[in-house]
Chain A
Amino acid sequence: MSKITYREALNQAMVEEMRRDDRVFLMGEEVAEYNGAYKVSQGMLEKFGPKRVIDTPITELGFAGLGVGAAMAGLRPVIEFMTWNFAILALDQIVNAAAKMKYMSGGQYSCPMVFRGAGGSAARVGAQHSQSLENWLANVPGLKVVMPSNPADAKGLLKAAIRDNDTVVFIENEINYGDVGEVPDDEYIIPLGVADVKRVGSDVTIVAHSRMTGFALAAAKILAEQGIEAEVIDPRTIRPLDENTILASVAKTHCAVVVEEGWRFAGIGAEISARIMERGFDDLDSPVIRVTGKDVPMPYAANLEALAVPSVTDIVEAARVACGRA
């Protein structure tokens, strides 16, 4: 095991996969000479040259579509959006082209590619640069949506995403880039669609992804001091969703809290709680509780920003209510 950052883990995943498969290339704004806006592609230009690590103009829709066409023609593009906020400009190519190409062409063409970049709420950058859009993308059949919460998962999941034969939306967390974690030294892959139990517990199930996994673990620590053992599950892949791992946990704890940074309306928490209701209703002793970002554009002021996203305290309180210990 080595201790490396989340961004280094992502870098290692791309470097290893580009060494393994010369169809893989990285394209995006500032990925080459600048070494990445968040330094995720540090040193990659030097390793692979300008044909495989390609700086683009600021033209999200154009280079997203370039990736779609290149994937259809047999390459394995990794298309970096500096942040997912800018990918809104490219949604036609992601939703109307990449996701549907296999179906529309009756299985003839597919788009094995990764759209990746920073997502989630960032720090003090206001409404347009700080938001969670995974529910939009996870809603689309044909896309897979992956959101790692720590360096080891980031590496194993990105390697799986690059090897995947479908279009993978890979949403990294802007605030987690500098997080340090243990990463195995030997090569490994984490299959898409497999959740991970980050903490075992018997009193309440907390489902949380991306940065909220860390918040949930912090909440579990506080809950343990209060005599409540929380089980923390990180789905890691939003779509396909590993509902079996979640349901097995609920069967044990009989209550659940779903945490997400994104907006509450039609969010990931709504999907997960509906699934628990549909298939785990008899296991529940209390309603599933959602802890979500507030349904407001992200404000700039520090106090307002803190109010807009879930806190560890919010999760602790929700867990106590869920298991009847409020």
Chain B
Amino acid sequence: MPAKQNQEAGITHDGLFYPEARLHEMHDMMLFIRRFEEKAGQLYGLKKIGGFCHLCNGQEAVCVGLHQASEPSDYMMTSYRDHGHILARGTDATAVMAELLGKAGGVVKGKGGSMHMFDIEKNFAGGNGIVGEQVPIGLGFGFSSWYKDDGRVTICIMGDGGINQGAVYESFNMAALWKLPIVFVVENNQYAMGTSLERASAETQLFKRGISFKIPGMKIDGMDVLEFEKKMREAIEHARSGKGPMLVEAMTYRYRGHSMSDPATYRTRAEVDEWRSGRDPIARLQAQMIEAGLATEEHFKQVDKDIKKEVAAIGKAAEAQPEPDASELWTDIYSDPIENAYPYPGKVN
């Protein structure tokens, strides 16, 4: 180990050194996402958030690991389970909460809601509501990097449900054929809505799904943020170096139902508890940091308190925002404002 790293406090995982400050950053963001999602669930229960709302509790290490392993200039897109990813990417949390509440200050002006989070400044291209739809779109982002030779990598995220869509294989084929710089990430949380992986997939080792396209696959523990981050770096490096796409299967678990209306009767309480108490990514990192002498239990308790307070304040601030102006109904459809007003809104002849 290099001398410098010996002098600095941190954790070395699989040969990669994580300095103390970064560990805290990763921990705090995972916990922030957890508490943010809990708040969203609460606001949904109060009927302040409407429609579909898919929470990512339990999958925080994947969100944070992907962001930490990639460059801010890299492109990222995912499905509708998108809150954690856009928060990890660094988008203003109040704007994300305001979007959930359908407010004017929402990240997409209240026009998208839970499933359609976008932040072009952070190169976050959705928030796509049709299962698997983001995969050909990710292919296009990867294509643009190949066309422009801009050195960017596209991180295209899907679930274990999404990977069964035909569009995914059309995309795998072209990505491999043209050696596009894309890392396809499957968040395997074991259930596509209520259908378990075993009931939906002939090949349950999803990282092998790229084999017939000559796309190498990696299966990574998505409940261990350091392990996931480290391996993701390798996958991203593979894509960035011009070797073509990579398929990553992130083993993870969602603690909540598919969406807010899902009581998750298709799995046992014992199974959920096993993941929650035995493999929780936040508890795991906390334990690692305590063992390394980088933090105490009291510290984490205080951080949690502070984050809960912060999230409560974010909820309040977002709730206090006005709804979008009625004129927003007709904007952002076409570039030409005259066409946006077509035919004659609110008027009869």
Residues of A within 8 A of B (CB): 25, 51, 56-57, 59, 61-75, 77, 92-93, 96-97, 102-110, 112, 141-142, 144, 164-166, 193, 240, 278-279
Q: Which residues of A contact B111 (CB under 8 A)?
A: 103-104, 106
Task: Indicate with 1 or 0, residue by residue over B154-186, a CB within 8 angstroms of chain A CB atoms.
Answer: 000000000000110011011001000000000
Would you call B294 an interface residue if the criterion is a C-beta within 8 Å of the partner chain's C-beta atoms?
A: no
- Per the bound structure, the CA–CA distance linking A165 and B119 in Å amounts to 20
In the complex the two chains form, is B118's CB within 8 Å of A108's CB?
yes
Give residues 106-158 of B contacting A (CB, 8 Å).
106-112, 116, 118-120, 125-130, 133, 135-145, 147-148
Q: Which residues of B contact A108 (CB under 8 A)?
A: 108, 118-120
A66-B125 contact, Cβ under 8 Å, with A92-B133, A107-B109, A278-B349: no
Q: List, sorted by A's number, 7 A–B pairs whose CB atoms are closer than 8 Å.
A: A25-B147, A66-B174, A72-B140, A97-B128, A104-B112, A110-B335, A164-B335
In the complex the two chains form, is A105's CB within 8 Å of B120's CB?
yes
- Which residue of chain B has its CB nearest to the CB of A93? B136
Would you call B288 an interface residue if the criterion is a C-beta within 8 Å of the partner chain's C-beta atoms?
A: no
- Per the bound structure, the CA–CA distance linking A173 and B65 in Å amounts to 50
Give the distance to chain A from B149, nearest Cβ to Cβ, in Å.
Answer: 10
- Per the bound structure, the CA–CA distance linking A75 and B77 in Å amounts to 18
In the complex the two chains form, is A73's CB within 8 Å of B140's CB?
yes
Q: Which residues of A contact B174 (CB under 8 A)?
A: 56-57, 59, 62-63, 66
In the complex the two chains form, is B170's CB within 8 Å of A103's CB?
no
In the complex the two chains form, is B173's CB within 8 Å of A66's CB?
no
**7 smallest A-B Cβ distances: which pairs?**
A69-B140, A65-B136, A62-B170, A106-B108, A73-B144, A165-B335, A105-B118
Would you call B339 an interface residue if the criterion is a C-beta within 8 Å of the partner chain's C-beta atoms?
A: yes
Q: Please tell me which stretch of B12-20, B298-306, B326-334 contacts chain A, meaning at least 4 of its Cβ atoms lie within 8 angstroms of it.
A: B326-334
Q: Which residues of B contact A109 (CB under 8 A)?
A: 118, 120, 125-126
In the complex the two chains form, is A68's CB within 8 Å of B140's CB?
yes
In the complex the two chains form, is B342's CB within 8 Å of A240's CB?
yes
- Per the bound structure, the CA–CA distance linking A105 and B118 in Å amounts to 5
Q: Which residues of A contact B135 (CB under 8 A)?
A: 65
Give the distance to chain A from B321, nearest Cβ to Cβ, in Å.
Answer: 14
